[in-house]
Structure 1
């Protein structure tokens, strides 16, 4: 089917050839795409799987007896199994398709949270969370008169584990923690965090949107109760993601969306809900997105996490060295063992001006608060410029970034 792995010859050395967009020019300059923490690019293998569904067997899933529907169902369920394997969940029924990590975390809030969080309860998150792991819990706390407690971070962007452990109380109902910070690149010790929380009887939700394309994720080893991630961060399509949940947790959670495919039977007197994972997947799913995300997971595994990690760490070290040599540039986030993300500020130049000039030089970066406004406030910043690297980036692209930053300095100084 469409998710069967092709092109076994792809390696970290030639993977760049699989990404057609990387050969284009922007404003007459070669594209240096350094905005991977926002969305990574899609390899042709993923694009082929996506198109294959639409051109050969586009049909709805789970409900049809005709061949196209059966093929679509098989391909989507094969993708679910591929993603199960990718994060080492125990069973495919623990993988819920969502529209992304944001949707996945909202699912946990709307279903598990509304069932388990009451007045006076506490939810514990960190200062470095993405808004997707802040806003849903703030909404719930406001609705239930519960409290949102925040784990502090150091000036270098390191989570205060001693403070975390001391903050867990008999009113703590959930710990929500980001695996890898999209702003700082900090890799949090989620296995240790989960062990501490579970030792006090508290479940853990991990936001893994920035992790799955950079490192091997093993949800059984981590031990977390929920893990959320998005397809477009891992070389897949937008509008698709997954929620991993331990089967025991998911079985106790009520569905929060009603409609087709999430039911066993419906009458005006009674509704019987479907089994896992389908009771959380109301309506026609993003079939091609799911197939594409499954294919992206296979693509990553075909290259191998060891090779990906080594290459991205080489790029991170090179970029850190080159950017640190620029007068007036300050890197934000200096935790050891970072992912390949560098946020920085440049004296007297607003990040939006930096981003505009870099774009004219063909360099794509992200500027702003990166959906981490509380973290920015903690660090005394309004915004940063963020360069985020993937396995297909090159030292020459980092040189292009550095040269473009020198042009910024020529203009503003």
Structure 2
């Protein structure tokens, strides 16, 4: 199970590298501003600026190799602090890497990294004057706080992913239970019809044979009364079988309408805000727009499941810290149009082992007579879109 960014298999996409490069450049600009304005140590000279800017370069691959980024950063940060350049300017890149290590790794890796960084910090400042002890403790507190924040984000992502997985497992269990009940109901109906019709058809066959025998036994001395009696028996048997069949069908119809399938009301468009809220909890920024009223329950349920699966895939495979997802559901030309678009960098449809999510969404659309398309956005740096058209039949059977 993927728990966030920096844990995908395969090489990073150009879009992800470009995005990380922009972030590294922005943090470098922030460090320069801090180095010129907030003084804690002497102002960097040419060597100091070089060390400071080089320390930001490993941020480009921090999500893919956070530990490697930290190791490459240390040879620049260490001499920078040792030469007593402005210490505040070098805080942001280190904190960003530490947060990424905690947010994308295991608790053990986070603990080992935190102890190592704190140890190096304390050893490096062992000979500081007494009046700077408070400053050392402040820096250590910031390191611990950042690691705890990253750990919380990692645990929260895992929790959300486990909740989504449990919900999907429960949905699959309900569907399997429904299929099992349908199969059992078919067997029960088959037994009822067999018990009802087999006896009547057998009687009709016997009575028909008797009539045929009477007609063929002695044509010169035809017993019209026996033939008439046999035909009356056949008619009576047919009437009895027809009445019993009608009674059985009425009982089956009442059973179906009265008891239902035991699954409760179908989810609909009114449940989409809850899906958007769950995706926002997972870290995605969701823009939800619903403009449809009076949609048949079956169509609303199909739209709900499609949006649910698309949001799940976006959160799982988006691969971005600031993942944006746009959900549009609107009625147009007697059809419900559902569009889920994200600007993420990862998708099981574009490499890797494919799952059953897209297949399931297409089956949902086909179940109500609709169509569904899913794939990467053409001409865009990353991103994925799911688009479905579900016919709306007013007053129909849905």
Normalising to structure 1: TM-score of the pair?
0.19
Greater relative contact order, per chain length (Cα 8 Å cut-off, separation 6+): 1
* Greater fraction of residues in strand: 1
Structure (1/2) with the larger helix percentage: 2
